[in-house]
């Protein structure tokens, strides 16, 4: 168990979230997106990342938050997965933070059920709470609405 | 140490090539036992493996091959004649060697298996005629000793020989790997070697890592994209120097693309090569006689495709031998030669490769298939009754339909035909099965040449662009002006277009891709032109209505992420010239999504709907359903009276009194055999399925059994009435041919027809 871990942080609505820095491939600005009909709601579209086609998943949708206000452009946090890169759309990108394992705790009860599914735990930072996103679960999309 | 590894690696590569060749040669040798050259080549290969393994210290491998070598040596010297038993034993030897080699590959030793039975078998076979070679017993001896011992045995053999001659020389010249082997059988018949069949290593070939080729292919893909982008940009430029350079770039890219694709091409013969052995073993196990024939071995396919079809093909071949071909006695009884024929054929056709696997066996028993499918719950009895022969045969591809009850250890290894189908469809191919009872079965596989870069038509729906693989494209139709408004007709809410007299079901792309959040709400201005892309999905054609048809382009197919894999409508994505991503449509997935081909009766529904419209349209013009009776009698009835078109199997016909009826939608439907009533000796009796026109007569239904239904036409009729035609009230010229017009009412009145009243039919429904 590593005592200190680094997290790439970002904002979603008033949530402050983090992903392990080693999982993040890169962070890029809003990209031109090709929407995908019949796809699960959370899939915002496909982006061209230097010749690689990357699926962009809307984290707001995944966490049950309201869509981003008109006129605001989300950032892409491109994460590595076993099946290639996937982009997570977030409101704003934060710093890379070192955390202390002692301040770690399981997800608080107060989180909405939908969010709690995807939050692995919480680091109690001095000023605020850093929620750790379970990227695998965040990217495991249901296909109920996209069936054949 | 690493030098050693290299040598071992080289040995493995060579040996496995040699073994593949051995498989083929052994089976070939069985056909032509007298072929000295073949025998020599087989001997040499085993000999080389033995020698090298001795040198590398794989003692077990060496001793097993040694026994085989002794046996081969006797064969070669004519002391022994090849029997099927010997061939089998030698093939087993090949398997044993192969398993040892994979052990070497896995952990650097030749494993702990010693194959005592095989050794004993080979020894016994060799000693069978008291041949004086004691070699079989000489196990565990030092490799060096055996190396010497093989010397005298290998009298005629060419030394280590062309087969394994390293194409790339071993990197460490200090280690003279094959040297001792090569020296053993010294004075040799070089002349004989020259004629030997077998892979001749050539200085003009080098081995290249497949990974490198894949990488090159990817890079070329990127280059093609960049080229497309530049070409698009050039279109707005006037600098002639720049334009000329771009054109050169264009040409070079295309050539490079072709070249790189070629490096990945392999003849399909590579996959087929193992089939003679598979078929031989299988035929022996099933006690069948099978002759395998191959045509078009040299047909080339992309390596990835070759890999992908390997297992499905093997499964199909096994199936054909196991289930398709009959036992020799059975065949003779049917008047066929005892030896079954399995034909593999491959050929290029229109940018695709067709592979056919046909046998001259018993064909597929559709009744059995049907019973099985119903039993397994794949289809309902009602569905089954409506299915045609061809649809029934294709049921073997349905998921959940496995020939489990006839599982042998040969077929039925968990790869059902549905897996075969999905695997082939995964690479953009199609499978079609055609079977004639008693005459055999043919499976036809159509696959694209390559997967990486394909030509595609770019279309748009809404503001999005989609790529349609050119292979599924049949034609483009554009309806303008009045056509655009009248050309598309509605059939129970499903649009159709009459394409040269045939009804083409239509799918509006924008509708098909509608999303729940409603951002796809396609609207069409009434006078806008309609673009129809006619596509081939599986066996059917359908029209895809798109807003705009753009260009064709070479696109690089990229896979979709896991999150999107479940959408059947897309086969992948690609990057367009302007750098944006476009989705590639999966034509058959799209058709399924839109449920274009849900059932055949949809066409009939269509017909019924079309009638009402026709009646309103024009008094003189009439919609007519055309059908045939007997061999060539053409008849027509007004479509307005037709409720549905159905197909029933003979088995579903029951009797009520002396009337023939079928159970139909919870009711009883009386059947009228037109050919009998109208005095035509029809051939309908022999057919397994009956085409039935369900005729609405005063609120009650009658089924008219016809030979087959040919068409639906709209015609202004000039009727030549008959004075007393009975049920035929006249004739008219339709589609340039004389056609009798049937008066169904007169037919019903003039015959003793059982009609079920509404009340009765309700009872019938309640009784179910």
pLDDT of residue A10: 92
pLDDT of residue A79: 93
Which range, A45-59, B534-548, B657-671, B753-767, is most confident?
A45-59
Neighbours of B256 (CB within 10 A): 16
Calculated CA dihedral for residues B164, B168, B173, B176, nearest 10 degrees: 0
Residue B596: is its pLDDT beyond 70? no
Burial class, B152, CB count within 10 angstroms (exposed 0-12 / middle 13-18 / buried 19+): exposed
State the Cα–Cα distance between residues B475 and B532, nearest whole angstrom.
8
Where on the phi/psi map is residue B296: left (φ > 0), alpha (ψ -120 to 50), or beta?
left
pLDDT of residue A126: 85
Whole-complex ipTM: 0.86
Nearest to A38 among B225, B567, B573 (CB): B567
Please indicate whether residue B520 or residue B305 has the higher confidence score (pLDDT): B305
Contact between A34 and B513 using a beta-carbon 8 Å cutoff: no
In chain B, helix, strand, coil percent, each to 5?
45, 25, 30
Contact between B558 and A52 using a beta-carbon 8 Å cutoff: yes
pLDDT of residue A144: 39
Burial class, B696, CB count within 10 angstroms (exposed 0-12 / middle 13-18 / buried 19+): middle
Q: Does domain B3-202 have CATH number 3.40.190.10?
A: no
Number of H helices, E strands in chain B: 25, 30
Contact between B583 and A51 using a beta-carbon 8 Å cutoff: no
Residue pairs between chains A and B whose CB atoms are closer than 8 Å = 82
Which range, A5-19, B7-21, B504-518, is most confident?
A5-19
Nearest to B575 among A38, A53, A147 (CB): A53
**B558 contact residues in A (CB cutoff 8 A):** 52-53
pLDDT tens readout for residues B188-232: 334 344 444 444 444 577 888 878 887 888 788 888 878 888 888
State the Cα–Cα distance between residues B255 and B249, nearest whole angstrom.
10
The answer to whether B184 and B151 are in contact (CB under 8 A) is: yes
The answer to whether B326 and B290 are in contact (CB under 8 A) is: no
> Of 2.60.40.10, 1.10.1740.10, 3.30.565.10, 3.40.50.2300, which CATH number belongs to B267-448?
3.30.565.10
- Least confident range from A5-9, B380-384, B429-433, B615-619: namely B615-619
| Total number of residues shown for chain A | 148
- Spatial strand order of the sheet with A92-100 comes to A92-100, A4-12, A15-20, A129-133, A119-124, A104-105
pLDDT of residue A93: 92
Average pLDDT of the residues in B571-575: 86
pLDDT of residue B392: 77
Shortest Cα–Cα distance, B606 to chain A (Å): 24
Write the DSSP assignment of B64-96 as a string of letters: HHHHHHHHHHHHHTTSS---HHHHHHHHHHHHH
Mean pLDDT score of chain B, rounded to an integer?
Answer: 73
Tell me if residue B715 falls in helix, strand or coil: strand
Please indicate whether residue A81 or residue B127 has the higher confidence score (pLDDT): A81
pLDDT of residue B458: 92
Please give the structure tokens belonging to residue B197.
């069949």
Shortest Cα–Cα distance, A13 to chain B (Å): 22
> Of 1.10.3470, 3.30.1120, 1.10.287, 2.40.128, which CATH number belongs to B210-264?
1.10.287
pLDDT tens readout for residues A97-137: 888 888 888 887 777 777 778 888 888 888 888 989 888 88
Residue B612: is its pLDDT beyond 90? no
Please indicate whether residue B161 or residue B306 has the higher confidence score (pLDDT): B306
Mean pLDDT score of chain A, rounded to an integer?
Answer: 83
State the Cα–Cα distance between residues B65 and B95, nearest whole angstrom.
11
Mutation target to probe the B interface, by most B beta carbons within 10 A, among A30, A34, A86 is A34
Domain with CATH 2.40.50.180 in chain B: 621-764
Question: Would you place residue B171 in the very low, low, confident or very high pLDDT band (cuts 50, 70, 90)?
Answer: very low
Domain with CATH 1.10.287 in chain B: 210-264
State the Cα–Cα distance between residues B557 and B469, nearest whole angstrom.
10
pLDDT of residue A9: 93
- Which ranges constitute the DSSP H helices of B597-719? 601-617, 674-677
CATH code that applies to domain B453-615? 2.30.30.40
pLDDT of residue B753: 65
pLDDT tens readout for residues B423-466: 887 777 778 888 888 888 888 888 876 666 778 899 987 678 89
Residue in chain A lying closest to B578 (CA) = A48
Average pLDDT of the residues in B151-156: 36
pLDDT of residue B50: 83
Question: Would you place residue B44 in the very low, low, confident or very high pLDDT band (cuts 50, 70, 90)?
Answer: confident
Contacts with A102 (C-beta within 8 Å, 6 or more apart), sequence order: none
- Least confident range from B85-94, B490-499, B755-764: namely B755-764
Question: Would you place residue B147 in the very low, low, confident or very high pLDDT band (cuts 50, 70, 90)?
Answer: very low
Please indicate whether residue A57 or residue B485 has the higher confidence score (pLDDT): A57
State the Cα–Cα distance between residues A55 and B566, nearest whole angstrom.
14
Tell me if residue A62 falls in helix, strand or coil: helix
pLDDT of residue B301: 85
Question: Would you place residue A18 in the very low, low, confident or very high pLDDT band (cuts 50, 70, 90)?
Answer: very high
Rg (CA), chain A: 15
Percent of chain B exceeding pLDDT 70 equals: 74
pLDDT of residue A142: 59
Domain with CATH 2.30.30.40 in chain B: 453-615
pLDDT of residue B468: 92
Shortest Cα–Cα distance, B356 to chain A (Å): 30
pLDDT of residue B351: 66
Question: Would you place residue A89 in the very low, low, confident or very high pLDDT band (cuts 50, 70, 90)?
Answer: very high
pLDDT of residue B434: 84
Half-sphere exposure of B552 (CA within 13 A, CB side): 11
Rg (CA), chain B: 34
Question: Would you place residue B166 in the very low, low, confident or very high pLDDT band (cuts 50, 70, 90)?
Answer: very low
pLDDT of residue B186: 36
Nearest to A34 among B559, B583, B592 (CB): B583
pLDDT of residue B462: 67
Ordered domains of chain A (ranges, CATH): 4-146 (2.40.50.180)
Shortest Cα–Cα distance, B581 to chain A (Å): 6
Contact between A147 and B566 using a beta-carbon 8 Å cutoff: yes
Tell me if residue B533 falls in helix, strand or coil: strand
State the Cα–Cα distance between residues B611 and B693, nearest whole angstrom.
15
Question: Would you place residue B680 in the very low, low, confident or very high pLDDT band (cuts 50, 70, 90)?
Answer: low
Please indicate whether residue B128 or residue B9 has the higher confidence score (pLDDT): B9
Please give the structure tokens belonging to residue B83.
């029997």
pLDDT of residue B552: 86
Question: Would you place residue B479 in the very low, low, confident or very high pLDDT band (cuts 50, 70, 90)?
Answer: confident
CA distances from B54 to B11, B46, B64 (A): 12, 12, 11
Residue B520: is its pLDDT beyond 60? no
- Least confident range from B21-25, B174-178, B475-479, B483-487: namely B174-178
Q: Which of B333, B329, B392 is nearest to B600 (CA)?
A: B392
Question: Would you place residue B180 in the very low, low, confident or very high pLDDT band (cuts 50, 70, 90)?
Answer: very low
Residue B177: is its pLDDT beyond 90? no
Question: Would you place residue B401 in the very low, low, confident or very high pLDDT band (cuts 50, 70, 90)?
Answer: low
pLDDT of residue B724: 60
pLDDT tens readout for residues A132-144: 988 888 888 754 3
The answer to whether B420 and B398 are in contact (CB under 8 A) is: no
- Least confident range from B101-105, B606-610, B624-628, B748-752: namely B606-610
Residue in chain A lying closest to B556 (CA) = A51
Question: Would you place residue B409 in the very low, low, confident or very high pLDDT band (cuts 50, 70, 90)?
Answer: very low
Nearest to B464 among A32, A35, A38 (CB): A35
Where on the phi/psi map is residue B108: left (φ > 0), alpha (ψ -120 to 50), or beta?
left
Which range, B74-83, B316-325, B619-628, B716-725, is most confident?
B316-325
Residue B472: is its pLDDT beyond 60? yes
Domain with CATH 1.20.120.160 in chain B: 3-202
Report the CATH fold assignment for B621-764: OB fold (Dihydrolipoamide Acetyltransferase, E2P) (2.40.50)
Contact between B575 and A51 using a beta-carbon 8 Å cutoff: yes
The answer to whether B187 and B416 are in contact (CB under 8 A) is: no
Residue B685: is its pLDDT beyond 70? no
pLDDT of residue B3: 58
pLDDT tens readout for residues B250-295: 999 989 988 888 888 888 888 888 888 888 888 888 888 888 899 9
Shortest Cα–Cα distance, B263 to chain A (Å): 23
């Amino acid at each position: 168990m590593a005592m200190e871990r680094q997290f790439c942080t970002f904002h979603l609505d008033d949530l402050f979230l983090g992903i392990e820095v080693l999982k993040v491939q890169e962070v890029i600005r809003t990209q031109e997106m090709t929407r995908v009909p019949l796809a699960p709601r959370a899939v915002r579209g496909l982006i061209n990342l230097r010749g690689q086609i990357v699926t962009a998943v809307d984290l707001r949708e995944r966490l049950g938050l309201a869509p981003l206000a008109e006129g605001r452009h989300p950032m892409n946090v491109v994460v590595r997965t076993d099946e290639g890169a996937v982009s997570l759309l977030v409101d704003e990108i934060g710093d890379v933070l070192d955390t202390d394992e002692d301040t770690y705790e399981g997800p608080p009860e107060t989180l909405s059920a939908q969010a709690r599914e995807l939050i692995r735990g919480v680091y109690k930072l001095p000023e605020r709470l850093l929620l750790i996103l379970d990227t695998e679960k965040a990217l495991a999309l249901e296909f109920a609405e996209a069936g054949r | 140490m690493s030098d050693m590894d290299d040598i071992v690696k080289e040995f493995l590569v060579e040996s496995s090539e040699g073994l593949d060749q051995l498989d083929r040669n052994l089976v070939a040798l069985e056909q032509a036992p007298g072929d000295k050259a073949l025998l020599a080549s087989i001997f040499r290969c085993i000999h080389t493996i033995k020698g090298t393994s001795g040198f590398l210290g794989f003692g077990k491998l060496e001793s097993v091959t040694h026994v085989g070598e002794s046996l081969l040596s006797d064969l070669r010297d004519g002391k022994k004649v090849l029997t099927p038993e010997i061939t089998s034993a030698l093939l087993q030897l090949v398997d044993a060697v192969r398993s040892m080699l994979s052990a070497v590959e896995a952990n650097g030793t030749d494993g702990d298996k010693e194959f005592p039975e095989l050794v004993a078998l080979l020894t016994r076979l060799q000693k069978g005629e008291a041949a004086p070679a004691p070699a079989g017993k000489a196990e565990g001896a030092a490799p060096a000793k055996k190396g010497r011992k093989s010397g005298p045995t290998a009298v005629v053999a060419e030394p280590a020989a062309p087969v394994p001659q390293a194409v790339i020389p071993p990197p460490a010249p200090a280690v003279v790997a094959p040297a001792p082997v090569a020296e053993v059988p010294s004075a040799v018949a070089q002349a004989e070697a020259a004629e030997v069949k077998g892979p001749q290593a050539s200085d003009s070939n080098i081995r290249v890592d497949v990974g490198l080729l894949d990488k090159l292919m990817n890079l070329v893909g990127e280059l093609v994209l960049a080229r497309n982008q530049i070409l698009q940009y050039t279109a707005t430029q006037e600098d002639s120097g720049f334009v000329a350079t771009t054109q050169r770039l264009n040409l070079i890219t295309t050539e490079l693309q072709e070249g790189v694709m070629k490096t990945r091409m392999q003849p399909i013969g590579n996959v087929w090569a193992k089939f003679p052995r598979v078929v031989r073993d299988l035929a022996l196990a099933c006690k069948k006689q099978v002759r395998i024939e191959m045509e078009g071995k040299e047909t080339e396919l992309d390596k990835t495709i070759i890999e992908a079809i390997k297992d499905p093909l093997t499964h199909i071949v096994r199936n054909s031998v196991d289930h398709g071909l009959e036992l020799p006695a059975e065949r003779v009884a049917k008047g066929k030669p005892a030896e079954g024929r399995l034909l593999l054929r491959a050929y290029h056709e229109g940018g695709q490769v067709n592979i056919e696997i046909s046998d001259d066996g018993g064909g597929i028993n559709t009744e059995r298939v049907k019973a099985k499918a119903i039993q397994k719950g794949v289809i309902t009895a009602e569905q089954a009754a409506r299915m045609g022969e061809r649809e029934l045969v294709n049921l073997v591809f349905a998921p959940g339909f496995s020939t489990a009850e006839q599982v042998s250890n040969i077929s039925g290894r968990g790869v059902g035909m549905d897996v075969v189908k999905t695997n082939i469809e995964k690479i953009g191919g199609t499978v079609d099965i055609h079977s004639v009872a008693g005459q055999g079965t043919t499976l036809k596989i159509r696959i694209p040449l390559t997967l990486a870069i394909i030509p595609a038509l770019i279309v748009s729906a809404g503001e999005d662009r989609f790529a349609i693989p050119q292979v599924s494209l049949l034609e483009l139709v554009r309806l303008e002006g009045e056509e655009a408004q009248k050309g598309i007709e509605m059939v129970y809410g499903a649009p159709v277009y009459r394409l040269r007299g045939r009804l083409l079901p239509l799918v509006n792309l924008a509708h098909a891709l509608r999303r729940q959040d409603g951002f796809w709400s396609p609207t069409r201005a009434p006078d806008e032109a309609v673009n129809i892309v006619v596509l081939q999905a599986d066996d059917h054609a359908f029209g895809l209505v798109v807003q705009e048809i753009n260009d064709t382009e070479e696109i690089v197919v990229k896979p979709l992420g896991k999150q999107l894999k479940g959408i059947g409508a897309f086969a992948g994505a690609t990057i367009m010239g302007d750098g944006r991503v476009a989705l590639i449509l999966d034509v058959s997935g799209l058709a399924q999504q839109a449920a274009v081909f849900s059932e055949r009766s949809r066409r009939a529904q269509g017909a019924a709907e079309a009638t009402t419209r026709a009646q309103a349209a024009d008094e003189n013009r009439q919609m007519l359903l055309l059908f045939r009776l007997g061999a060539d009698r053409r008849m027509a009835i007004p479509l307005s009276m037709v409720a549905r078109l159905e197909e029933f199997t003979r088995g579903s016909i029951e009797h009520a009194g002396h009337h023939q009826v079928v159970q139909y939608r919870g009711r009883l439907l009386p059947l009228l055999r037109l050919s009998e009533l109208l005095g035509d000796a029809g051939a309908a009796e022999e057919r397994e399925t009956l085409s039935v026109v369900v005729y609405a007569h005063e609120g009650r239904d009658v089924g008219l059994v016809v030979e087959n239904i040919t068409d639906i036409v709209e015609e202004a009729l000039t009727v030549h009435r008959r004075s007393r035609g009975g049920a035929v009230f006249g004739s008219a010229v339709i589609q340039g041919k004389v056609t009798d017009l049937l008066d169904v009412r007169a037919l019903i009145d003039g015959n003793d027809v059982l009609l079920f009243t509404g009340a009765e039919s309700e009872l019938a429904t309640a009784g179910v």
